[in-house]
Amino acid sequence: MRLTISHQTTYTYDSPDAYALLQLRLKPRDGHGQRVVDWSTTVTGGTTQGRFDDEHGNHVELILVDPDTTELSIASSGVVEVEDRAGVVGEHKAFTPLWLYEAPTAMTAPGKALRKLAAQMKPLPDEDQLARMHRLSAAITAQMRYETGRTDATTTAEEALSAGHGVCQDFAHVMIATARLLGIPARYISGYLLMADREDQDAAHAWAEVWVERLGWIGFDPANEICPDDRYVRVAVGCDYKDAAPVHGIRQGHGTEDLTVTLKVQSQTGQ
């Protein structure tokens, strides 16, 4: 499927910051079943300082916010072709070793709720690792409700599972944290999703990938009860949200900051 994406991020400040530097992870990845046909990012109110690929293989652009700026606009858009591989991403190609994705992070650290869920995932007779991960994804879907406005970017997997609700980021973190408790490498994916009932969205999407022997990385989206197909565009990979956030940075200043995000994902008819 060929998808067109338009992603606009706007920061407004009631007074200029003394210093602000942002990392953008907005360009989709080439390979593993998807091809970037065209992509561009335009920044107004900031200046590009450099571009590089990080340790996870993500394309990163460094933006220095211009002095006296009270509005920063980041507009990304392009076209991506995606194959339906039933969630199978395949071999590990990043510089990072697989064992890195087995270690807990601050956002995926285990607590009582996560350990209880992991205990429910003991292998069943004749159950292989792939079937076990499907069972884990289904258990998360059953135990959590998708609700916006109840969690934020700092909510941990333990907090979300204990509360029983969250958004796609929380579902992904719970899947990752539980898989790691089971000794299985797991990682966080940020990206885009073509939704069936709308083109306009107010946020990007997130899901998990786990390492399955003989198959490699397999995607799971417990928030939508599915393995990613050709409606999903992979953008950034990380140990958790902090590694793969579309925009992340530091700022020095005393003013307040407001964020507005608009996103449109469309299918090109006939492709």
CATH at 28: 2.60.40.2250
Q: Does residue 70 share a domain with residue 126?
A: no
Q: Which of the two residues, 228 and 200, has the higher pLDDT score?
A: 228
Q: Does residue 258 share a domain with residue 225?
A: no
SS3 of residue 119 by DSSP:
helix
Q: Does residue 66 share a domain with residue 25?
A: yes
Q: How far is CA 188 from CA 132, 232, 239, 243, in A?
A: 19, 14, 6, 8
Q: Does residue 135 share a domain with residue 97?
A: yes
Q: Give the residue numbers spanning the domain of 21.
A: 2-82+247-267
Q: Does residue 199 share a domain with residue 115?
A: yes
Q: Does residue 232 share a domain with residue 103?
A: yes
Q: Does residue 211 share a domain with residue 101?
A: yes
Q: Does residue 126 share a domain with residue 196?
A: yes
DSSP state of 100: G
DSSP E strand stretches across the chain: 2-13, 19-24, 34-44, 46-53, 59-65, 71-82, 88-90, 145-146, 165-166, 186-193, 200-201, 205-212, 216-220, 232-238, 247-252, 257-267
Q: Does residue 237 share a domain with residue 253?
A: no
- Kindly write down the DSSP assignment for every residue of 134-176, as one continuous string: HHHHHHHHHH-EE-TTS--TT--HHHHHHHTEE-HHHHHHHHH
Domains in the chain, number? 2
Q: Does residue 197 share a domain with residue 77?
A: no
pLDDT band at 270 (very low <50, low <70, confident <90, very high): very low
Nearest to 184 by CA among 101, 72, 262: 101
Q: Does residue 176 share a domain with residue 95?
A: yes
- The 10s digit of each residue's pLDDT in 144-180 is 999 999 999 999 999 999 999 999 999 999 999 999 9
